C-alpha cells in the first residue's frame, strides 16, 4: 500500500506499512549524528582560528553552518510529512515512549548546537560572529520548524492522556518545554557578542 512518501524516505517501513513515530525517531537519530559530525569540524576550525585570516575562517564556518541547515531542512520536510499522518489519539504507550525518545534526541542535538555556538563566541571576534549571525539565525529558524510538529504532537498526547501510571506524558511535557527553552536561548551568546538584544 503506497504511503505517499518518497521512495528514499529514511526509516520507511518495510512491507508498505504506515509510517510511525518510530520512523521519525530513526530519522532524528540519523540527523543528530550528521549534525554532530559537522559540529566537530566547526569546533576544529574555531580552535585553530588564532593567527589565521578571518576571511578563510569565515568562509569555512559559513559553509559548515549552511551544511547543517540544509540537513535540518531535509529532515524537517520528511518528519513534518510523517507526523502529519500520526493521530495522537491512536498512539499507544510504546508510541508515546518513542515520541519521548525522539524529543530527547532533538533536545540533545539543540544543546550540542548551543554549546558549539557558545564555544564560537568565546574564540571568534565580534566582527566574524556578526558575519555568521544571518547563517546562524537561518539555522535556528530551521530547527524551530523541525521541532514544531514534534512538540505539537507531544502536547496533543499530553492533553489526551490522563492519569497515565507510566509517567511518560509528564516526561514528554518536561522535555518539550526544555527543548523550546533551549532553542529560544541558543542564539544568546552570539547576540551578546555582537551587541544585539534580540533576533
Average pLDDT over residues 106-114: 93
Question: Distance between CA atoms of 199 and 194, rounded to whole angstroms?
Answer: 11
Residue appearing with cell numbers 509510517: 19
Total residues belonging to the chain: 199
Q: How confident is the model at residue 71 (pLDDT cuts 50, 70, 90)?
A: very high
More confident of the two residues 64 and 47: 64
* pLDDT, tens digit, 9 for 90 and up, residues 7-59: 333 444 433 445 678 899 999 999 999 999 999 988 887 776 655 556 677 88
129: in domain: yes
pLDDT at 127 exceeding the cut of 90 = no
Question: Residue 161 domain-assigned?
Answer: no
The reply to whether 10 falls in a domain is: no
Q: What percent of the chain has a predicted confidence (pLDDT) above 90?
A: 29
Does pLDDT of 132 surpass 80? Answer: yes
- Domain around 87: 17-153+167-187
- In-domain check, residue 192: no
Domain count, the chain: 1
- Residue 173's contacts (CB-CB under 8 Å, 6 or more residues apart) are 154, 155, 158
2 domain-assigned: no
Residue 5 lies in a domain: no
**Smallest Cα–Cα separation from 150: which of 111, 114, 98?**
98
Q: Is the pLDDT at 69 greater than 80, yes or no?
A: yes
Examine residue 6 and state whether it is found in any structural domain, yes or no. no
- Of 13-17, 86-90, 126-130, 134-138, the range with the highest mean pLDDT is 134-138
Say if 195 falls within a structural domain.
no
Q: Cβ(176)–Cβ(155) under 8 Å? A: yes
Question: Of 106-110, 150-154, 178-182, which one has max mean pLDDT?
Answer: 106-110
Q: How far apart are CA 61 and CA 42, in angstroms?
A: 6
**Residue 156 clears pLDDT 80, i.e. is over it:** yes
Q: What is the pTM of this model?
A: 0.81
pLDDT of 167:
83
Enumerate long-range contacts of 40-48, CB under 8 Å, 24 or more apart.
42/116, 42/120, 43/116, 43/119, 46/119, 46/120, 46/123, 46/124, 47/123
Map 123-190 to HEC letters: HCCHHHHHHHHHHHHHHHHHHHHHHHHHHHHHHHHHHHCCCCCCCHHHHHHHHHHHHHHHHHCCCHHH
Per-residue confidence band for 75, with pLDDT thresholds at 50, 70 and 90: very high
Amino acid at each position: 500500500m503506497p504511503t505517499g512518501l518518497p521512495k528514499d524516505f529514511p526509516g520507511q517501513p518495510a512491507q508498505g506499512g504506515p509510517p510511525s513515530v518510530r520512523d521519525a525517531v530513526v530519522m532524528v537519530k540519523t540527523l543528530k549524528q550528521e549534525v554532530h559530525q559537522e559540529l566537530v569540524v566547526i569546533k576544529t576550525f574555531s580552535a585553530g582560528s588564532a593567527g589565521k585570516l578571518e576571511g578563510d575562517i569565515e568562509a569555512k564556518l559559513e559553509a559548515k553552518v549552511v551544511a547543517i541547515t540544509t540537513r535540518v531542512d531535509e529532515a524537517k520536510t520528511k518528519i513534518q510529512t510523517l507526523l502529519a499522518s500520526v493521530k495522537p489519539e491512536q498512539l499507544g504507550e510504546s508510541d508515546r515512549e518513542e515520541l519521548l525518545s525522539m524529543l530527547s534526541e532533538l533536545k540533545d542535538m539543540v544543546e550540542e548546537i548551543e554549546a558549539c555556538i557558545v564555544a564560537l563566541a568565546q574564540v571568534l571576534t565580534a566582527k566574524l560572529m556578526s558575519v555568521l549571525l544571518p547563517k546562524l539565525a537561518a539555522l535556528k529558524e530551521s530547527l524551530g520548524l523541525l521541532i514544531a510538529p514534534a512538540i505539537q504532537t507531544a502536547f496533543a498526547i499530553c492533553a489526551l492522556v490522563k492519569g497515565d501510571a507510566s509517567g511518560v506524558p509528564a516526561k514528554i511535557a518536561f522535555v518539550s518545554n526544555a527543548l523550546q527553552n533551549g532553542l529560544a536561548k541558543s542564539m544568546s551568546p552570539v547576540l551578546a557578542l555582537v551587541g544585539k538584544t534580540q533576533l
